[in-house]
Amino acid sequence: MADPILSLRGVSKNFGAVAALTDIELDIHPGEVVALVGDNGAGKSTLVKVLAGVHAPSAGVIRFGGRGVTLDTPAAAMKLGIATVYQDLALCENLDVVANLFLGHEISPYALDEVAMEVRAWTLLQELAARIPSVREPIASLSGGQRQTVAIARSLLLDPKIIMLDEPTAALGVAQTAEVLNLIERVRDRGLGVIMISHNMEDVRAVADRIVVLRLGRNNGVFDRSASHHELVAAITGASENAVTRRMERKEVQA
Amino acid sequence: MTGPVETGPAPKGPMDRADARLRADTGFAGALKGFSDRVKSGDLGMLPVAVGLVVISVVFTSLNPIFLVPNNLVNLLFDCATVGIISLGIVCVLLVGEIDLSVGSISGFASALVGVLWVQQGWPVLLAIAAAVAMGAAVGWVYAQLYNRLGMPSFVSTLAGLLALLGMQLYILGASGSINLPYESALVKFGQILVMPAWLSHALALVPGVVMLIVGQRRRRQRLAANLSAPGLGGLMLKAGLLTLALEVAVGYLNLGRGVPYMFGLFVLLVVLLNYALTRTKWGRSVMAVGGNREAARRAGINVRRIYTSAFMLCASLAALGGTLAAARLASSSQQAGTGDVNLNAIAAAVIGGTSLFGGRGSAWSALLGIIVIQAISSGLTLLNLSSSLRYMITGGVLAIAVIVDSLARRSRISHGRA
Ligand SMILES: Nc1ncnc2c1ncn2[C@@H]1O[C@H](COP(=O)(O)OP(=O)(O)OP(=O)(O)O)[C@@H](O)[C@H]1O
Ligand SMILES: [Mg+2]
């Protein structure tokens, strides 16, 4: 396999006394979709934020394209080509869709080219099968799924090398979810690395080349998509005896 | 890989009108409907100001007809320019969601500085003004550092600055406490008597309408070429025509008196420049973003600290410039300069004009409209020979009303999904 475009060794992140991430190892290759799964609070979003330059890691080495890098600001991560869709979306509610899409990367900074930006916005949104009536309305007037689509569209704008999607389909309708999964495959085929976080095992299995499990802020196994549901749930919850298996057994008994 | 999800026949019209849920607001009735929708959802824009101005004019003219006499209005414009420029700076800090409570003291210190450097030390007047504005920029830089590095809330740091700068003003003015500026100097003439010749003011009154037509027509053509919907040409011409008519009538009326002050022209020029910077540049977009959602702006790669620094520095520099012009207006640098209601009037003007105290919402025009309202009230009350105690109370009441309108509009925006 080709050299990883992004590789993490021994990355840790502490919030005061809370160790949100401990000794994380992760490799992302070009043209590969890696799903990051784990229970609530496992540290998935924290890992994404470390890679996006939002949080500085407490320890560890991050290498991008073979070189050690410091991701101390979101701008630094973006410049390298790491694009992020955050779980909390991070959009400006007072600005319209076009302004949010191009925020920080406006076309012609001293005399904004609104027409070019609006055309590009419509093109991007159509690719995602977005159902957005008007791109000149403030974000505050959009539904949750529409906002999520805007956030995803924004990550595609800058021709990134790696895209990180933190629960991108959580609020999406059926068609839009399918479109996002298509999109993930499309960008993978273009040679981008993709990190996808999702609690939906069906979506994960549909597109992921590898499934990386986090548990309580630590690596807890790497699986490929043929891994059984049982194996994955066991790795996520940390026991083969857990709430999910107990529930399934109960159902079988009732049946 | 599948093709795009098909959703019925391909849209033929402009691509931003493809969604079936969009109501097409075309023509004059459509524009009216859109306007009333915006107002109902809490997007008040300039409406409160327009209503306020009409009420004020009617009330004060009925109490004392001198209120609407051309020369009283000319005086009013002279007064508007000084505090208006300070208010323009306030707009900048309010847009990023911060405040500068020391603009009055900055303006007072700037006026003292000009007096001392120019009259007492014999500096060239332009150099003295430049020094005063540089002082303002430095003060703004200090506020920005306190905010960015130490996380000090701006209302605390600028409150401290208010006192410290007032102290410096008193200190450099020394025992005498006031310096007279020479009456024959260009600066004082600019602040007191210089008005545009009638032909120039009429010509300038044509400019906004013409620019509106040219820019509007160019934007229309670009949008149509890019397969986007564009507003009709008729509406554009109607708007430009009405604007030109209103401006020409206003200028003609003022020319019945002394005419349009150059100082007011400078103020309007600054408003136009700031408006361009806020709406048509990347910097302005970033200012709005930081005021709307600081963390989202940071994650979009915006250097948030630099935006705060630029806003604080711009605000304090404009306050210093306003203070200099206020000294010119009074032909003196005194211990009273910048004290009293200057601070509050500057902040009130921005809020009355429609710039939100909560950040991320407002425009440069709010300084212009707001200060006209404030000065109209103050001029009307002066004509009624009311004591300053009553004037303070009434201005305080108007500020309270403006903030209430702002808060109510914000609540309405949130419930209409336009926060
Ligand atoms: N800014 C912060 N300050 C303090 N603690 C934090 C912060 N961000 C995250 N944490 C803690 O780090 C841990 C991991 O949080 P994280 O958001 O990464 O979980 P997650 O795996 O994304 O969970 P979910 O599936 O619910 O989104 C949690 O215990 C959380 O409380
Ligand atoms: Mg998360």
The CA A216 to ligand 2 mean position distance, Å, reads: 13
Contact B333, B339 (CB under 8 A): no
Contact B89, B287 (CB under 8 A): no
Nearest CA in chain A to B302: A104
CATH 3.40.50.300, applies to A6-224: yes
Task: Name the E strands within B106-228.
Answer: 178-180
Residue A170 has what pLDDT?
Answer: 85
Q: Which residues have C-beta within 8 Å of that of residue A255, sequence separation ≥ 6?
A: none
Contact A35, A208 (CB under 8 A): yes
Does ligand 1 lie within 6 Å of residue A49's CB atom? no
Render pLDDT for A47-68 as a digit per residue (tens, 0 to 9): 999 999 999 999 999 999 999 9
Q: Which of A13, A45, A220 to mutate to test the pocket of ligand 1 (most atoms within 8 A of CB)?
A: A45
Residue B15 has what pLDDT?
Answer: 77
Does ligand 1 lie within 6 Å of residue A37's CB atom? no
Give the residue, by CA position, lying nearest to ligand 1 atom 26.
A40
Tell me whether strands A59-64 and A6-15 are parallel, antiparallel or unpaired.
antiparallel
Residue A237 has what pLDDT?
Answer: 87
Contact A39, A200 (CB under 8 A): no
> How many other β-carbons are positioned within 10 Å of the β-carbon of residue A172?
22
- Nearest-ligand number for the alpha carbon of A39: 1
pLDDT by residue for chain B (419 residues), tens only, comes to 334 443 444 445 677 877 767 766 656 676 677 777 777 766 666 677 888 888 889 999 999 999 999 999 999 999 999 999 999 999 999 999 999 999 999 999 999 999 999 999 999 999 999 999 999 999 999 999 999 999 999 999 999 999 999 999 999 998 878 999 999 999 999 999 999 999 999 999 999 999 999 999 999 999 999 999 888 888 889 999 999 999 999 999 999 999 999 999 999 999 999 999 999 999 999 999 999 999 999 999 999 999 999 999 999 999 999 999 999 999 999 999 988 889 989 998 998 888 988 899 999 999 999 999 999 988 898 888 888 888 888 878 887 887 888 788 778 777 776 65
- Running DSSP on this structure, what letter comes out for residue B195? B
Give me the half-sphere count of Cα atoms (radius 13 Å) on the Cβ side of residue B188: 13
Residue B147 has what pLDDT?
Answer: 97
Query: Looking at the complex, does the CB of residue A56 fall below 8 Å from at least one CB of chain B?
Result: no
Residue B11 has what pLDDT?
Answer: 46
Q: Which of A109, A122, A189 sits opposite B15 (nearest CB)?
A: A122
Cβ distance A104 to B300 less than 8 Å, yes or no, reads: yes
The CA B286 to ligand 2 mean position distance, Å, reads: 27
Does ligand 1 lie within 6 Å of residue A43's CB atom? yes
CA B98-A86-A82 angle, to 5 degrees, is 105
| Interface predicted TM-score of the whole assembly (ipTM), two decimals | 0.90
Region of residue A218 (phi > 0: left; psi between -120 and 50: alpha; otherwise: beta): beta
Residue A161 has what pLDDT?
Answer: 95
Q: What is the 3-state secondary structure (H, E, C) of B228-248?
A: CCCCCHHHHHHHHHHHHHHHH
For the CA of A49, the nearest atom of ligand 1: 18
User: Regarding the domain delimited by B45-195+258-418, which CATH topology (the fold level of the hierarchy) does it fall under?
Assistant: ABC transporter involved in vitamin B12 uptake, BtuC (1.10.3470)
Residue B1 has what pLDDT?
Answer: 37
Contact B47, B39 (CB under 8 A): yes
Residue A228 has what pLDDT?
Answer: 85
Does ligand 1 lie within 6 Å of residue A145's CB atom? no
Q: How far is A138 from chain B (nearest CA, A)?
A: 6
Give the residue, by CA position, lying nearest to ligand 1 atom 10.
A20
Residue B275 has what pLDDT?
Answer: 97
Q: How far apart are CA B388 and CA B125, in angstroms?
A: 33
The CA A170 to ligand 2 mean position distance, Å, reads: 11
Contact A246, A233 (CB under 8 A): no
Nearest CA in chain B to A106: B282
Q: How far apart are CA A160 and CA A158, in angstroms?
A: 6
Q: Which residues have C-beta within 8 Å of that of residue B147, sequence separation ≥ 6?
A: B98, B153, B154, B157, B308, B312
Q: Which residues have C-beta within 8 Å of that of residue B265, sequence separation ≥ 6?
A: B196, B204
Q: How far apart are CA B121 and CA B170, in angstroms?
A: 17
Q: Residue B82: helix, strand or coil by DSSP?
A: helix
